[in-house]
Amino acid sequence: MAEIDWFPLALSLRVALIATVFVVIFGVALGWLLARRRFFGRELLDAAVTLPLVLPPTVLGYYLLVLLGRRSPIGQAIEAITGQSLVFTWEGAVVAAAIGALPLMVKTSRAAIASVDTNLEDAARTLGESELRVFWRVTMPLASRGIIAASMLAFARALGDFGATLMVAGNIPGRTQTAAIAIFDAAQAGRDNYALVLVLILSVVALVLVYSTNKLTTGER
């Protein structure tokens, strides 16, 4: 077997890790908002955040291209700040992976936060705690199992993103070619052994993550 190119796998891990950090921060915040605050359009927001789960990846990728491209205000702002566009960069892949993983994070952390007894939060408030401290000292520790499980699922999802990443970041070997895309490339080119190695590694990682998530959420308290 020829020398194995580890770059796509390393890139995938880096993209997924960074995407997960963003997804956890925004996902928990959105999950808390949806679980604990009543506001107009709450369920609409939930639906909008869920969309990436059901839309074709190409639709998602298309939206992101429009949103981050040179002609959109967001794209122009990013270019003005960082000096380059996100399109066809590995950072663009991070955005694509994050958007794809967000629904899992929001859904799961909303459920985890909603399952925390509101009496406990009220008890903390009667003891003089601010909303922020109530969140950190009561809600978060009690929802932590669900939130950790959600983060692992989000990471697994980000690791495997294909369609949206391909559209936003392209398929540039050594720069934006993630493992999922490299597998597609290798299979097309008849490099079956290389494809198989990556397939097996991604499968094992995903299996371990999903198994641990299940252990966490259904295991004894």
Partner 1 sequence: MTLSVRIKKALRSSGNRRNSESPGASAAQPFLLDVEFDVPPGFTILFGASGSGKTTTLRSISGIVRPDAGRIAINGEVLFDSAERIDLPIRRRGVGYVFQDLALFPHLTALANVEFGMSKVSRPERRLRAEAMMEALRISHAAGRKPREISGGEAQRVALARALAYQPRILLLDEPLSAIDEATRRGIISDLKSINRELRLPIIYVTHSRQEAVSLGERVIVYERGRVVAFGEPISVFGTPITASVARLTGVENIFTGQVVGKSEDAGTMTVEVSDATGACHVDVPFGNQALGEHVTVAVPSGDILLATEEPRSTSLRNRMRGKITAIDEELNRTVVRVNAGVIWSASVTRQAVSELALSEGQEVWLAFKTHSCYLVDRSS
Site residues, partner 1 (CB under 8 A):
117, 119-120, 122-130, 133, 137-138, 141-142
- Judged by beta carbon, residue 70 or residue 221, the one nearer partner 1 is 221
Nearest alpha carbon to residue 104 among 163, 45, 152:
152
Are 159 and 96 in contact by the 8 Å Cβ rule? The answer is no
Percent helix, percent strand, percent coil in the chain, to nearest 5: 80, 0, 20
Minimum distance, C-beta of residue 38 to partner 1, in the bound complex (Å):
13
Q: Angle formed by the axes of helices 90-114 and 140-159, to 10°?
A: 150
The 3-state DSSP class for residue 177 equals coil
Cβ at position 32, least distance to partner 1 in Å = 18
CB of 28 to partner 1, least distance (A): 17
Distance of CA 117 to the CA centre of its chain: 27
CB of 59 to partner 1, least distance (A): 42
> Which tokens in the block code for residue 174?
């050594």
Task: For residue 175, count CB atoms less than 10 angstroms from its CB and return exposed for 0-12, middle for 13-18, buried for 19 or more.
Answer: middle
Task: Output 42 or 137, the one with its CB closest to partner 1.
Answer: 137
**Which CB sits closer to partner 1, 44 or 127?**
127
CB nearer partner 1, residue 119 or residue 188: 119
By beta-carbon proximity to partner 1, the closer residue of 126 and 188 is 126
Considering the complex, what minimum distance in angstroms separates the CB of residue 43 from partner 1? 21
| Amino acid letter, residue 92 | G
